[in-house]
Amino acid sequence: MAALTLDDIDLRQDLLDIRGRKAGHSTAYPLALIVGEAILDYLKQCRPETAERALFIGAYAPYTPLSRVAVSLRAKWYLRKAGITVSRPGSHTLRHSCVQRLVDSGFSLKTIGDFVGHRTPDATKIYAKVNVEALRAVALGNGEEVL
């Protein structure tokens, strides 16, 4: 997120290009309309005028790109504000939540690993945890509604 530049966003084609992910390659993702609109609103109304190509810029002079640490601290602040308690709050929590939802939705580990840029299947396997709540529903009831 902190590494995004103005050149990574194609609002005409609704695409977001993520360069140099964990596996070292680029991937273009569809950009949801609401996200594209929010970015456009930020660019028009909030982003300070600067020659910097980074998308996200600090709010105070000197106007420099937000660091990864700054992004993570902001995510931590919003997680706490929302009352979400996790052991390691920050931007990685959002990534982990996304991956876990993909696992819970039944996507293959290969597909998920490619999506998040893992180099090996072993890196994605840590997300292949047992869904305890679904197992509990099966154990306590006839399980028909969760199967």
The pLDDT assigned to 147 comes to 44
Mean pLDDT in residue range 88-101: 87
**Domain shared by 2 and 53, yes or no:** yes
φ, ψ of residue 21 in degrees (nearest 5): -65, -175
pLDDT per residue over 10-69, tens digit each? 989 999 888 765 555 677 889 999 999 999 999 999 999 999 999 999 989 999 999 999
Q: Which of 39, 66, 93 marks a domain boundary?
A: 66
Range of the domain at 46: 1-66
143 has pLDDT over 70: no
Please tell me the chain's helix, strand, coil percentages from 3-state DSSP, rounded to the nearest 5.
Answer: 45, 10, 45
**Domain shared by 78 and 123, yes or no:** yes
**Domain shared by 40 and 101, yes or no:** no
Q: At 30, which helix (H) or strand (E)?
A: strand 27-30
The pLDDT assigned to 34 comes to 94
Mean pLDDT in residue range 77-97: 90
**Domain shared by 107 and 134, yes or no:** yes
What token pair was written down for 115?
């999506």
As a whole number of angstroms, the distance between CA 143 and CA 88 comes to 34
**Domain shared by 72 and 136, yes or no:** yes
Q: How far apart are the first and last CA of the chain?
A: 37
The pLDDT assigned to 121 comes to 79
> Which residues make beta-bridge pairs with 10?
15
Helix axis angle, 109-116 relative to 91-104, nearest 10°? 150
